[in-house]
Amino acid sequence: MPLFDPKDKSRYAIFTRRTLMMTGTMTAVFAVLGGRLYQLEVLEGDQFKTKSEENRVSERLVAPPRGRILDRFGVELANNRRNFRVLLIPEQVTSSVRSALDEISRILFLPDRQRERVLREVNQNKPFVPVIVAENLSWEDFARVNLHLPYLAGVQPDVGQTRAYPFADELAHILGYVAAVSPAEQAAEPDPLLELPGFRIGKRGVEKEFETQIRGVAGVSRVEVNAYGRVVRELSRETGEAGSDVYLTIDHELQHFVAQRLGTESAAAVVMDVTNGDVLALASTPAFDPNLFNVGVSTAQWKTWTSDDHTPLINKAVAGLYPPGSTIKPAMALAAVDAGLEKLQVFCTGAITLGNHEFHCWNKHGHGHVDLHRGIVASCDVFFYEVARRLGIDRIEAAAHRLAFGAQTGIELPGEKAGVVPGRAWKEAHYGVPWQQGETLNTGIGQGYILVTPLQLCTLAARIASGNAVFPRITRIIGRTAEVRPELDRLAFSDDALAAVRSGMNGVTNQPGGTAFAWRIAQPGFEMAGKTGTAQVRVISREEHYAGVRKNQSLPWKLRDHALFIAFAPVTRPRYACAVIVEHGGLPEHPQVQMARDILLYAQQRDPLKLPTAYPLSAATAATRSGKA
């Protein structure tokens, strides 16, 4: 018997209705899917094709070659050399990363801190990202790694670029160094180059001052990657734009001589062309090897540097602050002549009394009758005490500022100190008490609150020699940018004052009885004019003055006086100015005078045709010095 009656039409109607509903639903679903597919494939196809291409093709930055730093004759002082490196790709290591490092250690020496760094970077990155195990390898070490390469799973030799300083510590304080980017530097500057692993930027010196110009513009490498980000192949590469070369005013041969002449002393020296302010040499000793920062300075090395009482990390030429001692006396003499004191005469008995305090001359027996010329030649303190008393601190302060003391010179080196030129307002602001007349006398012989840098002292010598308001500069061309230097202003002192001071400085070195006569340049035509200086670093009691001041050679090194000397040469037509300071070097042999004598003689005996009279001033330097007298 059939399950239902074939004559029952209602059952057929229900079935047909349900079939139609299902068919309609399916049709609607397929219509929606078809519409969406049409939208994706046709209407938005180009957009998704672009996104797919972006996921498949990745653009990666390529670090540009860093610009070179050269001396005035084109000698490379900082350049780029091949960097032989060993990389490790963790996913290709057959055992563990530690085992792989053990295998590499049998070929190369890997300190514990280096192994820890590699393990840390492996944990931070994806397993297919190469990690630097060692860099700056010698060719022998690199070749040895390549020889054992079939037995070193996951190890990849690589040749990159690194910064090189061919003359090591000779120019360390001028050039500075490059090192890895710190998180703070990365946050402060949006340049994506700083995010590249192993990228280095300038930290000191010219490297830091002109970092943006030397760095260059990044290149781009277009690579094909899979879904996991692993590189399949490189599609194209744009090398970018190399950094700009920077030409310095430095004469490397003279710089080498100066550094050698200072030796291991804690000292600084600056040599300047008085006609235009070109700094031909600037040395601070001892120094450090900037190449060490390419591989990372060890904790032991850093501790050695920072604990050294000769402070090798400080550029004493621009950041060392010292009492000028008697090297301030030419500046005092300039102010004295312009104040009508050119005929002043003083009788020096070895001391002068102000109130209940005695101010002593370096010669306890006194100098007798002293005029301006003999005051400079014999460096009579009593004479300049009287000059300071008559001038007053206000005029002394004004004269010091006109001679570039108390302010940065604007040289293109970071970290330059301004020094201190004290006065009434300065003391009130710093100590909240009025200025005393005894402090004026101390300032008159370069003691007390006044502080200067060796660069400022060299600028003083250059200004006296030329009669012009020269400013020091250490760069002449950056890339291809150069500007014509404007005419220099005349110094704000009379010709009579300049002539009197030059005559006195000539007597210091070339007149019997001059404080530097024993160490003069004897060769005719090369004579120098100068001024010696001694800066005390300890207080000498009244009892010691009467009993006899202890000799420097009998004191511990830290208690000895600083020894200073400024000079220019040749006397007849000055071309070079020089300033030398030897910390705690106040000895009877006057080492600072001997150093300056040898430096100035060497500079003059060089081929003069190799020393152009002027170079254009960079735009950055011109902007820095705008408005300066």
Which of 115-129, 544-558, 606-620 tops mean pLDDT? 115-129
Inter-residue contact 502 to 464 (CB < 8 Å):
yes
Give the position of tokens 């206000």: 394
Residue 268 CA to residue 424 CA, distance in Å, equals 31
Residue 502 CA to residue 369 CA, distance in Å, equals 21
Q: Which two tokens stand for residue 54?
A: 């972006």
What lies within 8 Å, CB to CB, of 66 at 6+ separation is 80, 161, 163, 178, 214, 215, 216, 242, 243
Q: Which amino acid is at 69?
A: I
Residue 399 CA to residue 115 CA, distance in Å, equals 60
Question: Range(s) for CATH 3.40.710.10 in the chain?
Answer: 252-286+316-625
- CA-nearest of 443, 368, 457 to 409 is 457
Distance separating the N- and C-terminal Cα atoms of the chain: 125
DSSP letter assigned to residue 480 = T
Question: Range(s) for CATH 3.90.1310.10 in the chain?
Answer: 60-248
pLDDT at 249 over 80: yes
DSSP letter assigned to residue 541 = P
Confidence of residue 545 (pLDDT cuts 50, 70, 90): low
Segment 551-571 shows an average pLDDT of 88
Condensed to tens digits (0 to 9), the pLDDT of residues 324-355 reads 999 999 999 999 999 999 999 999 999 999 98
Confidence of residue 233 (pLDDT cuts 50, 70, 90): low
CATH number corresponding to 252-286+316-625: 3.40.710.10
Residue 391 CA to residue 371 CA, distance in Å, equals 16
Give the count of alpha carbons within 13 A of 52, CB side only.
8
- 3-state secondary structure at position 405: coil
Check residues 538 and 46 and name the one with the higher pLDDT.
538
pLDDT score at 229:
47
pLDDT at 3 over 90: no
- CA-nearest of 266, 274, 376 to 322 is 266
Residue 335 CA to residue 403 CA, distance in Å, equals 10
Strand partners, 162: 81
pLDDT at 50 over 60: no
State if pTM tops 0.75.
yes
Is CATH 3.40.50.1240 correct for 60-248? no
Q: Considering the chain, what is the average pLDDT of its residues?
A: 85
